[in-house]
Amino acid sequence: MQNLPRLFISRAKDGHMGILAAVNRKKYFSKIGVDENKIVDIAVSHTDKVKVATQKDAGKYFEGFDAIVTREKDICLGLTTADCIPIAVFDPMTGSVGLIHAGWRGLAGGIIPKTIQKMEARWKVNTSDLIVFVGPHICPKHYEVREDVSSKFKEYGKAIKRTGGKIFLDLGEIAVKQITDTGAGENNIKVDGTCNFESMEYFSFRRGNKKERNLYLLTLGKA
């Protein structure tokens, strides 16, 4: 069995880590022991596209993806979130990892199963072996949506909450259901129930943090 990957969370003042102030980048990455030239960053775009990262991608920034996977040990995967869900996936048998950005558009488009399917196809991952971390995200109490959005998730009955003529969506409920639907075991899924909107430890777009983002880094090796 492989060693567990390392997951780092930081708050980024000016959006995607690809445009963070150089001084701040260097200071933060030095503190956590990550070589910034080994980071493969994706500009989340609310799509269903999955990037496969290799050594040649180290230090680069890719647009149009909302998930990134690898089995390379000396690179670091990176993405940012505001209120959406960051999801880290690890297969201890093949040593492959994935990092997913899942908002309602990504969930509707199947970004979670498509990421896991990509890992299955490339590295013969057995989904029952997967270890999954569902990170901090906005809770349904603060995530009001319109009917056109909620209608995309009719099959997730408990995830849609109606009160006072308003509709609220539970992104976490949908994400966990999609993860287990791939064959991942419930006991292997860890959910951080922290709400970005309520906790000042994280930035939240709906709380008013329009430019700030939460930065997630995932690495298998020293990077």
DSSP string, 90-116: EETTTTEEEEEEE-HHHHHHTHHHHHH
SS3 172: helix
> How far apart are the C-alpha atoms of 77 and 220, rounded to whole Å?
9
Instruction: Check residue 23 and give its pLDDT.
Output: 67
Does this model's pTM top 0.75? yes
In a domain, 115, yes or no: yes
The answer to whether position 156 is within a domain reads yes
Q: Report yes or no on 39 lying in a domain.
A: yes
* Residue 199, domain CATH: 3.60.140.10
Q: From the CB of residue 161, how many other CB atoms can be counted at a distance below 10 Å?
A: 16
- Residue 182 counted as domain residue: yes
| First-residue to last-residue Cα distance in the chain | 20
Q: Is residue 77 part of a domain?
A: yes
The answer to whether residue 151 is domain-embedded is: yes
Return the number of other C-beta atoms located less than 10 Å from residue 22's C-beta: 9
Which residue segment(s) compose the domain that 197 sits in? 6-219
CA torsion through residues 79, 44, 193, 172, sign:
negative
Give the span between the Cα atoms of 142 and 101, in whole angstroms: 19
Q: What is the DSSP string of 35-74?
A: -GGGEEEEE--S---EEEP-GGGTT-EEES-SEEEE--SS
Q: Count the domains in the chain.
A: 1
Predicted local confidence at residue 5, as pLDDT: 72
Query: What is the chain's pLDDT, residue by residue, as a tens digit (223 residues)?
Result: 345 577 776 665 544 444 455 666 677 778 788 888 899 999 888 999 999 999 999 999 899 999 999 999 889 999 888 899 999 999 999 999 999 999 999 999 999 999 999 999 999 999 999 999 999 999 999 999 999 999 999 999 899 999 999 999 999 999 999 999 999 999 999 999 999 999 988 889 999 988 778 888 898 766 5
pLDDT (0 to 100) of residue 155: 94
CA–CA distance, 138 with 212 (Å, rounded to integer): 15
Q: Long-range contacts of range 205-209, CB-CB < 8 Å, 24 or more positions apart?
A: 205/82, 205/83, 206/83, 206/138, 206/142, 206/143, 207/142, 209/82
Residue 31: predicted pLDDT: 79
Residue 1 inside a domain? The answer is no
